[in-house]
């Protein structure tokens, strides 16, 4: 394999655009994209009705390009963004052809007001010095929260439900050197009371973000449902409600990032049980989504990749809570309400979550010896 392939990695960066009157041009471009999108969907449906076949992406693209020539509103969107719309629809159809038996639906019409974004590939934008970017013929400014290092592959302008604009860019950059620095490995157990229990016998409590804001959300949602449909007040109340929810997820995400950095600074290898999130959700309800394990793991995996740490997932069916971490004795059953138990075989007293985290660490480290993680063997003392 060419070395280039090894040394590069894709990264996604998100920047908020300065609020400015000029932003209406971008919003108009998003709206035009939505109109074009809907036109494409209509063409697909009509073509299928007439000929009984799928309209190919190339045919659609050339047809839309022709239409665009005599439509000034459509021209507000760059030709690359139009291609991207056609390709996105094609992708959605391919997914539908492949998985329609599993309940995947074909792409359908979308409300233009709710249409979210457009994407440019190589052309149609240019980064100027500082925090300025030229899109189409106009220059916009963004909060440059970090440096853009590497080659920009795509640029997407996104509109949030609040009408704020973000610029999301995918860049190809250099991968940092692989290294293990701490030589430490740890197992973690997710819990409902304690967010994470670590095998080094520390615990991490989760701030209950949703619970903290529950009253504010209830109030905002009551305000919203009281307002007359279609009124300005209702739109304001809707924005207020959306803001409350965004506030929670922002605070939670901040906390996840911090935690993920802390843990990856402390350990080289982090072992977790793979989660059956759907099953857990059915069982526990809202509280699980409040804790958002899945989102945390995504962030952690991303950071681990960047810092060259390793995340190991062990089989979710391994009885991590029922096995004694001292002698390996497996209990027949262990009720959820029991927080501590004494091992009938070796008499050691086990804390439910702490014991599980030790088992997860042990099983996780035993998988390290094989295959793709050979390099870690030498550096890590288990
Ligand atoms: Zn035991």
DSSP run (H or E) holding 377: helix 374-379
Sign of CA dihedral 223, 224, 226, 228: positive
pLDDT of res. 291:
59
The count of other CB atoms within 10 Å of the CB of residue 312 is 21
Among 12-21, 209-218, 372-381, name the one with the lowest average pLDDT.
372-381
Contacts of 284 (CB under 8 A, 6+ apart): 192
Distance 342 CA to ligand 1 centre (A): 8
Q: Is the pLDDT of residue 224 over 80?
A: yes
Looking at residue 282, what is its pLDDT? Answer: 60
CA of 355 to the centre of ligand 1 (A): 10
From the list 179, 199, 185, the residue with the least C-alpha distance to 367 is 185
Tell how far the Cα of 166 is from the centroid of ligand 1, in angstroms.
54
Kindly give the distance from the C-alpha atom of residue 97 to the centroid of ligand 1, in angstroms, as a whole number: 53
Cα 199 to middle of ligand 1, angstroms: 17
The sign of the dihedral angle between the CA atoms of 73, 76, 82, 84 is: negative
Distance from the alpha carbon of residue 320 to the mean position of ligand 1, in angstroms: 13
How far is it, in rounded angstroms, from Cα 203 to Cα 213? 24
Taking alpha carbons only, the member of 297, 69, 272 closest to residue 188 is: 272
344 CA to middle of ligand 1, Å?
A: 7
> Which of 142, 158, 187 lies closest to 30, judged by CA?
158
**Ligand 1 centre and the CA of 109: distance in Å?**
60
If you average pLDDT over residues 79-104, what whole number do you get? 90
Q: Ligand 1 centroid to 186 CA: how many Å? A: 20
Looking at per-residue confidence, does 281 or 325 come out higher? 325
* Predicted TM-score of the model (pTM): 0.56
**353 CA to middle of ligand 1, Å?**
15
Confidence of residue 288 (pLDDT cuts 50, 70, 90): low
Q: State the average pLDDT for the chain.
A: 84
Higher pLDDT, 155 or 288: 155
Look at residue 67 in the predicted model and tell me its pLDDT: 92
Question: How far away, in angstroms, is 257 Cα from ligand 1 center?
Answer: 37
The pLDDT assigned to 163 comes to 87
Q: What is the mean pLDDT of residues 196-219?
A: 87
Cα 204 to averaged position of ligand 1 atoms, centre (Å): 26
DSSP character string of 195-263: SEEETTS-EEPPP-HHHHHHHHHHHHHHHHHHSPTT-HHHHHHHHHHHHHHHHHHHHHHHHHHHHHHHH
Res 289: pLDDT: 57
Q: What is the band of 5 on the pLDDT scale with cuts at 50, 70, 90?
A: very low
Residue 279 has a pLDDT of 59
Between β-strands 269-273 and 310-314, what pairing exists: parallel, antiparallel or unpaired?
parallel
Beta pairing, strands 125-127 & 117-120? unpaired
pLDDT (mean) for 355-378 = 67
pLDDT of 33 above 90:
yes
Residue 273 CB-density burial (10 A; 0-12 exposed, 13-18 middle, 19+ buried) = buried
Q: Taking residues 176-191, what's their average pLDDT? A: 73
Q: Partners of 187 in the beta sheet?
A: 271
Quick one: average pLDDT of 181-191? 84
Of all helices (H) and strands (E), which one includes residue 152? Answer: strand 151-159
CB atoms within 10 A of CB 83: 18
**Ligand 1 centre distance from Cα of residue 332 (Å):** 13
Residue 350 pLDDT greater than 90, yes or no: yes
| Confidence (pLDDT) at 124 | 86
| Residue 186 in this model has a pLDDT that exceeds 50 | yes
Question: How many whole angstroms from 313 Cα to the centroid of ligand 1?
Answer: 24
121, pLDDT greater than 50: yes
CA of 197 to the centre of ligand 1 (A): 20
What's the average model confidence in pLDDT over 239-257? 90
**What is the mean predicted confidence (pLDDT) over 108-122?**
90
Which whole number is the average pLDDT over 198-203?
A: 92
What pLDDT does residue 193 have?
A: 74
- b/e code 93-127 from CB counts within 10 Å (16+ = b): beeeeeeeeeeeebbeeeeeeebebbbbbeebbee
Give span(s): CATH 3.30.420, the chain. Answer: 185-214+248-379
Distance CA 299, CA 303 (A): 6
Answer yes or no: is pLDDT of 9 > 80: no
Alpha carbon dihedral 149, 152, 153, 155, in 10-degree steps, equals 120
Would you place residue 284 in the very low, low, confident or very high pLDDT band (cuts 50, 70, 90)?
A: low
Per cent of the chain over pLDDT 90 is: 51
Q: Of the given ranges (138-142, 174-178, 248-252, 310-314), which has the lowest mean pLDDT?
A: 174-178
Instruction: State the Cα angle at 168 between 163 and 173, rounded to 5°.
Output: 170
Measured in Å, residue 104 CA sits from the centre of ligand 1 at: 49
- 107 CA to middle of ligand 1, Å? 56
Specify the CATH number of the domain 185-214+248-379: 3.30.420
- Spacing, Cα 327 to ligand 1 middle (Å): 4
pLDDT at 373 (0 to 100): 37
Rounded to whole angstroms, how far apart are CA atoms 131 and 129?
Answer: 6
Residue 3 has pLDDT above 50, yes or no: no
- One-character DSSP codes across 14-46: EEEBPP-TTHHHHHHHHHHHHHHHHHHHHHHHH
Query: How far away, in angstroms, is 5 Cα from ligand 1 center?
Result: 49
Whether pLDDT at 166 is above 80 = yes
Provide the pLDDT for residue 130. 87
């Amino acid at each position: 394999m060419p070395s280039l392939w090894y040394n590069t990695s894709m990264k996604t960066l998100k920047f908020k655009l300065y609020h400015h009157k000029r932003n209406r041009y971008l919003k108009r471009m998003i709206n035009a994209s939505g109109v074009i999108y809907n036109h494409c969907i209509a063409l697909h449906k009509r073509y299928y009705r007439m000929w009984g076949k799928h309209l190919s992406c190339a045919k659609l693209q050339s047809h839309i390009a022709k239409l665009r020539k005599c439509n000034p509103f459509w021209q507000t969107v760059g030709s690359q963004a139009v291609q991207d719309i056609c390709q996105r629809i094609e992708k959605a159809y391919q997914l539908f052809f492949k998985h329609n038996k599993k309940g995947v639906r074909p792409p359908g019409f979308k409300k233009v007001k709710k249409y979210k974004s457009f994407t440019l590939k190589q052309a149609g934008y240019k980064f100027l010095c500082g925090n300025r970017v030229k899109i189409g013929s106009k220059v916009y400014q963004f909060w440059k929260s970090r440096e853009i290092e590497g080659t920009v592959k795509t640029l997407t302008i996104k509109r949030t439900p609040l009408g704020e604009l973000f610029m999301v860019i995918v860049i190809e950059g250099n991968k940092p050197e692989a290294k293990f620095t701490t030589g430490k490995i740890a197992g973690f157990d997710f819990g409902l009371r304690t967010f994470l229990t670590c095998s080094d016998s520390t615990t991490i409590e989760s701030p209950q973000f949703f619970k903290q804001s529950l009253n504010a959300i209830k109030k905002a949602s009551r305000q919203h449902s009281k307002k007359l449909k279609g009124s300005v007040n209702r739109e304001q109340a809707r924005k207020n409600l959306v803001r409350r929810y965004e506030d929670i997820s922002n605070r939670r995400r901040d906390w996840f990032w911090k935690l993920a950095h802390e843990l990856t600074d402390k350990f080289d290898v982090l072992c977790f049980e793979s989660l059956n999130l759907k099953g857990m959700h059915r069982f526990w309800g809202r509280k699980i989504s409040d804790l958002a394990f899945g989102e945390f793991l995504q962030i952690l995996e991303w950071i681990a990749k960047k810092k060259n740490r390793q995340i190991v997932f062990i089989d979710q069916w391994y009885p991590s809570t029922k096995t004694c971490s001292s002698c390996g004795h497996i209990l027949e059953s262990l009720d959820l309400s029991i927080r501590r138990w004494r091992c009938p075989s070796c008499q050691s007293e086990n804390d439910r979550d702490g014991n599980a985290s030790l088992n997860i660490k042990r099983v996780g480290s035993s998988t390290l010896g094989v295959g793709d993680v050979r390099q870690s063997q030498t550096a890590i003392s288990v």
